[in-house]
């Protein structure tokens, strides 16, 4: 949606307005040299560059920013603190979601916000990033990087469709919840039937609205 465009979902009578798209990084951190995303792999090698990380020689152990702890954009922090609902994901776990949370001030703002905080887990694994991951592995990776408190519930797909072997992807399944302490799991059928590695955007939007109506402040 363009800025200011309004989406009305009936019959719930909830109006959702997209007002602004804010960067995580402060302007001075987006200067001539910028910030690089790096990864440490299981074989102790390192890779630098978002596009190169999924093609590394070993599984990802952790990602980090260089330089470390770049400052957050103040307006983004204010928006987080004043939000009614914060939705993290879906997206590439190690090259999209976690890097934004590593920006100094972003994860702290989310933890301090009074909003309902939801992590939307991907419906499928991603080659080179989350091969073989179940739901608890995604949650653990987030906790390992930014600690607990960034989200208090996880919206997870509950319907698993057929995946062709050549896709090199499998469904992310809801597994042992004891491996993901401190969060509640909200199962929902949000997969796109014609493209089962992706979410169905309307089903996901409705699931988030239903979740906010049940658990929002």
Domain boundaries, the chain: 6-26+73-215
Q: What is the 3-state secondary structure (H, E, C) of 162-177?
A: CCCHHHCCCECCCCCH
Mean pLDDT for the chain overall: 88
At 83-137, the pLDDT tens digits run 999 999 999 999 999 999 999 999 999 999 999 999 999 999 999 999 999 999 9
pTM reported for the whole predicted model? 0.88
Strands (E), 67-170: 85-88, 116-120, 153-157
Contact, 63 vs 101, CB < 8 A? no
CA 213 distance to own-chain centroid: 21
Per-residue pLDDT at 7:
35
At 189-200, the pLDDT tens digits run 999 999 999 999
Rounded Cα–Cα distance for residues 168 and 164 (Å)? 8
Rounded Cα–Cα distance for residues 67 and 80 (Å)? 23
- Examine the pLDDT at 34 and tell me if it is beyond 50: yes
Q: The CATH number of 6-26+73-215 is which of 3.30.9.10, 3.30.300.20, 3.40.630.30, 3.40.50.10680? A: 3.40.50.10680
């Amino acid at each position: 949606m363009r800025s200011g465009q309004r989406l009305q979902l009936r019959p719930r009578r909830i109006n959702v307005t997209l007002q602004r798209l804010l960067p995580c990084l402060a302007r001075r951190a987006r200067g001539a040299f910028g910030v690089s995303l790096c990864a440490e792999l299981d074989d102790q090698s390192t890779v630098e560059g978002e596009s190169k990380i999924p093609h590394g020689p070993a599984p990802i152990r952790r990602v980090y920013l260089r330089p470390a702890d770049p400052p957050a954009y103040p307006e983004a922090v204010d928006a987080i603190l004043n939000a009614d609902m914060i939705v993290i994901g879906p997206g590439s776990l190690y090259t999209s979601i976690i890097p934004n949370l590593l920006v100094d001030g972003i994860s702290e703002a989310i933890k301090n916000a009074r909003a309902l905080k939801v992590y939307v887990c991907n419906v499928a694994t991603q080659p080179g990033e989350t091969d073989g991951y179940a739901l608890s592995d995604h949650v653990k990776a987030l906790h390992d990087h930014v600690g607990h408190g960034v989200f208090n519930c996880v919206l997870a797909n509950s319907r698993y469709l057929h995946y062709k072997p050549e896709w090199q992807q499998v469904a992310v399944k809801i597994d042992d919840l004891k491996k993901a302490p401190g969060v509640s799991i909200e199962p929902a059928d949000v997969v796109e039937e014609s493209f089962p590695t992706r979410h169905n955007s309307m089903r996901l939007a409705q699931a988030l609205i239903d979740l906010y109506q049940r658990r929002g402040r």
